[in-house]
C-alpha cells in the first residue's frame, strides 16, 4: 500500500511567528541531539513525519513519500499547513515497507536538521544521517513503529522549541476522542481487531502497538492481548485464511481503503462467513480512501479527519 520527484522548494523553514528556545537538546531512541538554532532546512525521512513537522509550523525542504499521489507527498488534511512550500519528495512511488535512506539525495538538500519519527533506524543508519545533519530518531521507549501519535507530536514539538504548541494540538485531538467515547458508551470494553489484506490467502492483523489499533483502543475498545503476543515487537502479524478464527471478536475492522478490491477476496475466504462477528453484522469495511488513509497515517493532523467517520461506522454495528 503506498506511493513522483517533487521540485526542490525554496519555501522551507519556519512559518511566520514560530517561537524559538534554542539552543536545545532532544532525547530520542538513539541518544541525544543538540540543535543549536531554529532549523531552516528540515528533511523528514519517516513515512508520516511531514504531518507532525508541519503541525509545529515548520515547512520541510524534503519529505519522504509513503503512498497516495498527492502534491508534495502531503495529503489533504495537511495542505493548509504546507501552504506554498514545495518540498522535494524522496522515494517517490518506491514504497517497499522498509525505509530506504537515500543519503546523497538527502545531503543534496543541505538540511540543518533531519527528522525520522515514524520509521525504523539502526545505529549505522542514524550515524550516517547524523554526519549529514543533526538527526532526531524515533521516540525512546517504544518498539519500532510502535510509539503513539502523541509521542511523535511531542518529540516534534521539543525538536522545534514549541512544546506548548504540541500539547495544545494533542489536547484538541484528545477532546475529540473523549467526546466520541462519551457519545458511544457501548464501545467500552468491547473487543476489536484491525486487519488488512495485501494479497490473497492471508491477512495482516495489527498489533495493539500499531497506530490503527491505538485509535480503536482510544475510543474505548480493547485489542485482545493474544493479538499482541502474536505480533511481538512488530506492528502486526500475518495469518493465513485457515487461522481467520483469530479475528472473531466483538468487532472486526478491515482497513482496505488502499486496496478496496480486496473486499471480494476477504468475503470469499472459506472461514470468513462462519465467523460469529460476520454473522452478527459487525465486520466493518473501512474502504473510503481518505478515511482509511487518515487512519493509517494516525498523526496529529490526520486523526481529526478520521475519528468522526470511523466512529459512525462503529456505532452502526454496535447499536
For residue 1, what pLDDT is reported? 32
* Listed residue (192, 200, 218) closest to 283, CA to CA: 192
What's the pLDDT score for residue 12?
53
Same domain for 230 and 152:
no
Q: For the chain, what is the domain count?
A: 2
* Residue 190 shares a structural domain with residue 261: yes
What pLDDT is recorded for position 20?
Answer: 60
Q: What is the pLDDT of residue 17?
A: 36
Instruction: Report the DSSP beta bridge partners of residue 203.
Output: 239
Is residue 89, in this structure, part of any structural domain at all? Answer: yes
- We report the CATH number of the domain holding residue 221 as 3.40.50.1980
Residue 151 domain-assigned? yes
Domain presence at residue 4: no
Report pLDDT for 94: 76
Domain endpoint, select from 121, 148, 173: 173
User: Do residue 45 and residue 140 come from a single domain?
Assistant: yes
pLDDT value at residue 117:
97
Residues 142 and 205 in one domain: no
In angstroms, the CA 163 to CA 154 distance is 6
**Residue 108, domain member (yes or no):** yes
Query: Does residue 6 fall inside a structural domain?
Result: no
Domain identity same for 94 and 189: no
Write down the pLDDT at residue 309: 92
- Please name every residue paired with 238 in a beta bridge, in sequence order, or none if there are none: 204
pLDDT by residue for the chain (319 residues), tens only, comes to 322 222 223 345 554 334 568 999 999 999 999 999 999 999 999 999 999 999 999 999 999 999 888 999 999 999 999 999 999 999 988 776 678 999 999 999 999 999 999 999 999 999 999 999 999 999 999 988 889 999 999 999 999 999 999 999 999 999 999 999 999 999 999 999 999 998 889 999 999 999 999 999 999 999 999 999 999 888 899 999 999 999 999 999 999 998 899 999 999 999 999 999 999 999 999 999 999 999 999 999 999 999 999 999 999 999 8
Q: What is the pLDDT of residue 6?
A: 25
185: region left, alpha or beta (phi > 0 left; psi from -120 to 50 alpha)? alpha
CB under 8 A, 24+ apart: contacts of 305-308 = 305/76, 305/77, 306/215, 307/173, 307/176, 307/177, 307/180, 307/215, 307/219, 308/180
- My answer on whether 156 and 188 are in the same domain is no
Domain encompassing residue 262: 184-318
Q: Taking every pair of C-alpha atoms in the chain, what is the biggest distance, in angstroms? A: 60
Amino acid at each position: 500500500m503506498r506511493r513522483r520527484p517533487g521540485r526542490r522548494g525554496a519555501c522551507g523553514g519556519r512559518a511566520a511567528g514560530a517561537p524559538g528556545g534554542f539552543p536545545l537538546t532532544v532525547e530520542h531512541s538513539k541518544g541525544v541531539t543538540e540543535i543549536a538554532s531554529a532549523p531552516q532546512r528540515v528533511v523528514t525521512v519517516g513515512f508520516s513525519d511531514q504531518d507532525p513537522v508541519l503541525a509545529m509550523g515548520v515547512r520541510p525542504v524534503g519529505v519522504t513519500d509513503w503512498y497516495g499521489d498527492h502534491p508534495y507527498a502531503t495529503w489533504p488534511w495537511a495542505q493548509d499547513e504546507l501552504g506554498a512550500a514545495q518540498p522535494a519528495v524522496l522515494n517517490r512511488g518506491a514504497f517497499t515497507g522498509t525505509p530506504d535512506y537515500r543519503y546523497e539525495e538527502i545531503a543534496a538538500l543541505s538540511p540543518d536538521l533531519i527528522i525520522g519519527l515514524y520509521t525504523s533506524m539502526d545505529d549505522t543508519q542514524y550515524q550516517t544521517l547524523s554526519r549529514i545533519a543533526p538527526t532526531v530518531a524515533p521516540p525512546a521507549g517504544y518498539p519500532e513503529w510502535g510509539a503513539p501519535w502523541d509521542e511523535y507530536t511531542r518529540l516534534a514539538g521539543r525538536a522545534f522549541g514549541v512544546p506548548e504548541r504540541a500539547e495544545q494540538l494533542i489536547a484538541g485531538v484528545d477532546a475529540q476522542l473523549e467526546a466520541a467515547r462519551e457519545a458511544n458508551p457501548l464501545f467500552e470494553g468491547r473487543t476489536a481487531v484491525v486487519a488488512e489484506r495485501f494479497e490473497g490467502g492471508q491477512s495482516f492483523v495489527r498489533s495493539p502497538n500499531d497506530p490503527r489499533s491505538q485509535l480503536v483502543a482510544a475510543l474505548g475498545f480493547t485489542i485482545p492481548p493474544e493479538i499482541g503476543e502474536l505480533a511481538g515487537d512488530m506492528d502486526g502479524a500475518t495469518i493465513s485464511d485457515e487461522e481467520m478464527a483469530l479475528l472473531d471478536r466483538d468487532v472486526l475492522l478491515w482497513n482496505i481503503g488502499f486496496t478496496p478490491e480486496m473486499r471480494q477476496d476477504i468475503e470469499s475466504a472459506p472461514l470468513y462467513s462462519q465467523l460469529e462477528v460476520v454473522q452478527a453484522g459487525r465486520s466493518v469495511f473501512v474502504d473510503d480512501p481518505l478515511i482509511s488513509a487518515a487512519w493509517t497515517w494516525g498523526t496529529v493532523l490526520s486523526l481529526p479527519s478520521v475519528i468522526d467517520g470511523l466512529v459512525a461506522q462503529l456505532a452502526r454495528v454496535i447499536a
